[in-house]
Structure 1
């Protein structure tokens, strides 16, 4: 066999997907390392004597394919986790260098116990925090009067709840945050309804009494 043709066939074999490679590894591994009674039951005892080197080569080839794919997948996972960790570390550093107006904006999320707030489109602070990927536009529906929805990123929400002092320096507000957090947890707080804002309905002074 021509060497170049053999290498070409080898490279084509390495393009096997995971499923055929796994099946090939199980089959050739069984023929190579299976017990004698199993080989006899399969009727492969005599046949295997003549093709054993090729079966061994097939096993090595399938094992190499599986090992290569596993290494690539593991490398991709490690690279993705490293990138995520590096990005989060940089963003956390950003939270430690907030301007006063940025702190005021982010403190609203904590104090109101909401992950989504409305801001005007011409609000530069919320736009800047969105550009820094601390906030994001959660809806494209809005207007110039009521504003547009901006949500806080999950990682920023968790980090600021662990370190509220980054955006709240007033001890009274910190105490209020602790109180509201406990209240929200106690009543099973649902996003969009603050339990401390629940008020009895105002009485209509123009409504006539029913006799």
Structure 2
């Protein structure tokens, strides 16, 4: 049982990249030079040295490949996240350039009053369109009743807030006639 424990500790030692690399180099040098094997008295055990060389090399290469794979995955995730944010921003900009006059009127209330929230009719089709487009969102489920309409507080998204405050001229109505 002790010999199994010894081999386990050797394998744990070899799992470290530096030691696996050193072991592969030393064992490779031993395989290339029969004089070294004979000097160590291992000439008849060349096949064992070869197996250990392959094992150490595989352990080292697997660790190197794991690091490379993890790096590629991390970089890929970062690039994917950046592309997604860029695409979302592009789609939001495009949607803001396609606002109807009624949508502009609602959004103008945020910019003109310099407020991030307005109480709007939840069942108004224009409010629903702006919410579905991700331009505004319901800030609370608490209702406010003003006359015959039920209103909810709606908050403008950070992107829409920043973009419309930089381009307030986008909110002028294009009414013809």
Is the pair's TM-score, using the shorter chain for normalization, greater than 0.5?
A: yes
**Which whole-Å CA distance do the structure 2 matches of 1:161 and 1:25 have between them?**
55
Alignment of 1:112-127 (within 5 A): 112-127=113-128
- Compared CA separation, residues 28 and 143, structure 1 to 2 (3 A): same
Q: Structure 2 length normalisation: TM-score? A: 0.65
**Which whole-Å CA distance do the structure 2 matches of 1:24 and 1:156 have between them?**
51
The CA deviation at 1:156 is: 1.0
Match of 2:169 among 162, 165, 168: 165
Gap regions ≥5 residues in structure 2: 1-11, 26-39, 41-48
Structure with the higher helix share, 1 or 2: 2
**Which whole-Å CA distance do the structure 1 matches of 2:137 and 2:151 have between them?**
14
Gap regions ≥5 residues in structure 1: 1-19, 34-45, 170-211
- Compared CA separation, residues 31 and 166, structure 1 to 2 (3 A): farther
**Which whole-Å CA distance do the structure 2 matches of 1:168 and 1:162 have between them?**
14
The superposition leaves residues 180-204 of structure 1 with CA deviations (integer Å, 9 ceiling, x where unpaired) of xxxxxxxxxxxxxxxxxxxxxxxxx
The superposition leaves residues 142-167 of structure 1 with CA deviations (integer Å, 9 ceiling, x where unpaired) of 13336101111111111111111111
Match of 2:136 in 1: 135
Q: Root-mean-square deviation (CA), in Å?
A: 2.7
The CA deviation at 1:93 is: 0.8
1:55 correspondence with 2:59: no
- Compared CA separation, residues 115 and 25, structure 1 to 2 (3 A): farther
**Which whole-Å CA distance do the structure 1 matches of 2:117 and 2:78 have between them?**
31
The CA deviation at 1:30 is: 6.5
Q: Which runs of 4+ in 1 moved over 2 A?
A: 23-33, 50-57, 143-146
**Which whole-Å CA distance do the structure 1 matches of 2:114 and 2:133 have between them?**
22
* Contact 1:116-1:152 at 8 Å conserved across structures: yes
Residue 99 of structure 2 aligns to a residue whose secondary structure is coil
* Contact 1:136-1:151 at 8 Å conserved across structures: yes
The count of aligned residue pairs is 134
- Compared CA separation, residues 26 and 148, structure 1 to 2 (3 A): farther
Match of 2:73 in 1: 72
**Which whole-Å CA distance do the structure 1 matches of 2:137 and 2:16 have between them?**
49
Which entry has the higher C-alpha Rg, 1 or 2? 2
